[in-house]
Chain A
Amino acid sequence: MRNYLTLVILLILCLPSFGIVNEKSGDHSTYVQHVEQAFILMFQGDNLRAISEFEAALAIEPDHYEILHYLGMAHAQTEFWNKAVESCQRSLALMPDNIEALYSLGVAYFRLDQWTDAVASLQRVIELSPQHARGHEMLGKSLVKLRRYAEAVPILTKALSLTPHAAGLYYELGMSHLNLKAYPEAIKNFKLAIAYGPTGYAEPHHGLGTAYFRSGDREKSRVEMQVYQRLQREFAEYERLTRLTRAEPNNLEAWTELATLLMNQKNFAKAVSVFQRCIELAPNNAHFYHGLSRAFMSLNYPKHAAEAARKAVQLMPNQAILYNTLGSTYAMQGESQKALSAFRKAVELDSDEPYYHLNLSRLYQGMGNQKLAQEHHRIYEYLLSKQK
């Protein structure tokens, strides 16, 4: 009862204020609706529509620093860098030490080639958050752009301590050392960039070649420059084929060339999706299933690889190489009897291929049959010597 009375008194005291609060709450409901919709669209990757929703929300209630920052992030996703700068600045005017808004502002300035502004913003990020890996990374990159190499080195080194194995950071650090004429350090970092970088990462080879050249090792420099040129050519070819397949999505020849290139580059994950596209376009072509199987095997997905190899064998039951691949997928899964059957079929169809015998030899070895293992190994060596 006492509770009830207290609440009634409270209600009477509150009555005049309800009207004041509620006068704008219709607008607030609309604001909430726009914000919610914007988040859903952002989660779905539809940043353009998310921008519209955030803008509609902010037209009703303009002083939400977090929504302004989300708007900036959506602009950044769509590469509207000037708009991203504007939104982040508005957000920071309301909440000056917001680490992530400062970071977003720094990235936007970097993309606009306004590196001095980027440095100012990113330095504030790492002051506020000394373990901010992305802040250190972007600050280091901005300093490299400004040719402030001596300052870049400790920042990039710190970034690497926060994000190990980041190939791009090793490359930037290599470039800094190169420009500071610290060639052994440059060489070390370019090598790490290559080791941790994606397949076909060309730039560190150029840096490495330059570092070798300047330190007097011309032979190593020549080799690295050749690798760089080859990778550049492959990249150009990759770009050409990617553009072509985008413009002509049913161009099977272009897809096939792209698949071959990706396999040569050992980019097996992308090769899988390209082979799958080839199969969509030519569902009865065994070679595409075979390529898909090899790509899956390289990615260590033996079950998927076996499935694709079985399909290839169904389509071309007289191709020895398909049985050899099928056998390999079974062997990877430890299914020795199935592997044995497939390898035998491969040898039966083409007994002159040394590697089919080698596979059989290894399988027998694993199964404990030393006699047959040795026999097929001898055949393998004999055929190989004949080929030479």
Chain B
Amino acid sequence: MNIFYPSRNSHFRSAARGLFLLLLGIGMSFGVSAQDTEHLIFVSAGTFTMGSDTRAADEKPMHKVYLNAYYISKYEVTNAEYYEFWKQQLEMASPGHPPQHTPENFTHLPQIGDWPARAEQFPNHPVVGVSWHDANAYAAWKGMRLPTEAEWEKAARGYTNRTWPWGNALEPYANTAENNDGYQNRLAPVGSFPKGKSYYGAMDMAGNVWEWTADWYSDVYYWHTSQAATKRPKQNPTGPAVGSWRVIRGGSWIDTITRCSTTFRFYLYPNLKTSFVGFRLAKSTK
């Protein structure tokens, strides 16, 4: 799904646009104020309850999971942050070849827009149009990684049984497809819903964009985890060994709020680049 620059009818106009974007890129390297990339939240080691016995089949059974301490980013990775990475890719790209890890363009969605123009237009929006591989490459570039599915869920619900990161009450504290959150049919800048923060203080863990996690998806993975954990909680699960789809979590601006719960699991082919999936980062403490 990835083509370098957006459309123009003639070679001349394409070239001109390429020049413009490249110069824009140069300018932006000095002009865009990125979200503070060091906004990491410490999540202490311990056992938490994962999954739900009362919601979707693939969330069953509710089971105990032990995780080592880790850090998770407070915000989803923004356009401005990703732009710094992409700019380096641009510099390294062979002539005539688009840089690796270029986000998809969404010409039909001007409220999201094309890359890299949207990095300047919406620097604090979460980056979208990135594949799992792009997200992974960005994380590695930052010396971090994608959170596992278990790390993501613990950061969202903590030691509680919260349906949504903020609690169990149905509140407009997330950017969803509902029409009561102030961001109809568009992304919100990261951190726009402070009341929606999670148990650990992570923002936008419900809505705005789905978030890639490190794990392959399996609808019965929790059964394995819980069966193995009859005597003691599963330690630091990292998902199935193989799969077709990567787990995405948290719901997005195109989803109903029920799909934005702390336990709702969804999946996508890892090479897909859509307007509703972004990511956040994690880091082990050691």
- Of A127-135, A177-185, A217-225, A310-318, the segment with at least 4 beta carbons within 8 Å of chain B is A127-135
The chain A residue with its CB closest to the CB of B11 is A19
Does B45 touch A at the CB level, under 8 Å?
A: no
> What is the bound-complex CA distance between A131 and B218, given in angstroms?
9
The total of interchain contacts (Cβ-Cβ below 8 angstroms) comes to 137
Q: Is B11 a contact of A25 with CB atoms below 8 Å? A: no
Q: Is A7 a contact of B7 with CB atoms below 8 Å? A: no
Known: A99-B242, A100-B245. A13 touches B95 (CB 8 A): yes
- Closest CB in chain B relative to A200 CB, distance in Å: 20
> What is the bound-complex CA distance between A15 and B5, given in angstroms?
12
- Closest CB in chain A relative to B219 CB, distance in Å: 7
Q: Is A19 a contact of B224 with CB atoms below 8 Å? A: no
Q: Is A31 a contact of B1 with CB atoms below 8 Å? A: yes
Q: Is A22 a contact of B7 with CB atoms below 8 Å? A: yes
Q: Is B224 a contact of A21 with CB atoms below 8 Å? A: no
Residue among A22, A64, A162 making CB contact with B223, cutoff 8 Å: A162
What's the interface size class on A, roughly? 35 or more
- Closest CB in chain B relative to A276 CB, distance in Å: 19
Q: Which residues of A contact B274 (CB under 8 A)?
A: 35-36, 39
Residue among B8, B242, B244 making CB contact with A22, cutoff 8 Å: B8
Residue among B1, B8, B275 making CB contact with A64, cutoff 8 Å: B1
> What is the bound-complex CA distance between A164 and B63, given in angstroms?
15
Known: A13-B95, A21-B98. A32 touches B105 (CB 8 A): yes
Does B194 touch A at the CB level, under 8 Å?
A: no
Q: Which residues of B contact A14 (CB under 8 A)?
A: 18, 95-96
What's the interface size class on B, roughly? 35 or more
Residue among B11, B22, B109, B218 making CB contact with A11, cutoff 8 Å: B22
> What is the bound-complex CA distance between A35 and B272, given in angstroms?
10
Q: Is B7 a contact of A40 with CB atoms below 8 Å? A: no
- Closest CB in chain A relative to B7 CB, distance in Å: 4
> What is the bound-complex CA distance between A4 and B6, given in angstroms?
23
- Closest CB in chain A relative to B14 CB, distance in Å: 4
Does A230 touch B at the CB level, under 8 Å?
A: no
- Closest CB in chain B relative to A273 CB, distance in Å: 17
> What is the bound-complex CA distance between A16 and B11, given in angstroms?
8
Does B108 touch A at the CB level, under 8 Å?
A: yes
Q: Is A19 a contact of B10 with CB atoms below 8 Å? A: yes
The chain A residue with its CB closest to the CB of B9 is A26
The chain B residue with its CB closest to the CB of A39 is B274
Spell out B's residues near A (CB within 8 Å).
1, 3-12, 14-15, 17-19, 22, 25-26, 29, 90-91, 93, 95-98, 104-109, 218-220, 223-224, 227, 240-245, 254-255, 259, 269, 271-272, 274-276
Q: List 8 A-B contacts (CB under 8 A).
A: A3-B91, A7-B22, A10-B90, A18-B11, A19-B12, A36-B274, A131-B240, A134-B220
